[in-house]
Amino acid sequence: MFSLATVFFRQQGLLLLLIFLAFQSIRAEDGISQSCIQHRSEHLFKVDTGGGILPLHNFTLSLTLKENTVYLKWVAENEMNTEKFVIQRSTDGTSFKNLGDTPPAGPINTLTEYNKSDDVSGISLAVAYYRIRAEDNRGNFAYSNVVPVRLSKADGFSFWPMPFTSSLNLTYNASVSSAIKLEVYDNSGRQVLQQQFSLNRGMNQLSVNGVAGLSHGLYHVRITDLMSNVVAFAKMAK
């Protein structure tokens, strides 16, 4: 009788030990699961401390030079969290300095246009480079495209005769073989002509088409080097 009781209690003890070990295993697995959930939660809801890129769309800059003033026009969309647009200028296209800033003014999902100007009358540069930097208050930022503009009076080209009548010629001295795009605007800013030319190295004599039908008045010319993207400006009269 004693032997049977001993066997019974040993079996009960073994059963209790197995139940205890199984309970400990479940607790350990539950701890690992909670740790994983906490880790994933921290990853998904991690706070952005800055240094990222602003989600601007269609962030594009264009320039026009009139007399001694560079007119900057840029557009941007999805300006959420943008705090300011900083106008920057460079002498080499690499190192930029701030010229000023302006706050955003557009709705989040609407393409908005901005206009600023830069007086370059006291600057002795052949070419200046411009860009716009968008910033928020946490260090996030985005850059527009970089646009070069030729400021030197020695542009390497000339139009003749001046004033023109039914024909117009362009003399262009190119340092390397290249291509240019010629755009002509009337005094209201409306584009009236556009033409592209292939250039050989050295002096090129080119004929501008379509000028006979233009009205008498003052015209602004924009010439873009399609290899370097350098932009030059001139005025002419009919």
Query: pLDDT tens, 180-238?
Result: 999 999 999 999 999 999 998 888 889 999 999 999 999 999 999 998 888 888 999 99
- At residue 14, the pLDDT reads 53
Across 109-122, b (16+ Cβ under 10 Å) vs e yields eeeeebebebebee
- At residue 210, the pLDDT reads 93
Cβ atoms of 66 and 220 within 8 Å: the answer is: yes
Out of 33-37, 71-75, 102-106, 148-152, the most confident range is 71-75
Q: Which helix (H) or strand (E) holds 229?
A: none
Q: How sure is the predictor about 139, in pLDDT bands with cuts at 50, 70 and 90?
A: confident
Q: Does the pLDDT at position 1 exceed 50?
A: no
Residue of higher predicted confidence among 133 and 45: 133
Calculate the average pLDDT of the chain.
79
- At residue 42, the pLDDT reads 33
- At residue 35, the pLDDT reads 42
Q: What is the pLDDT of residues 62-75, one digit of tens each?
A: 988 877 889 999 99
Mean pLDDT of 145-174: 83
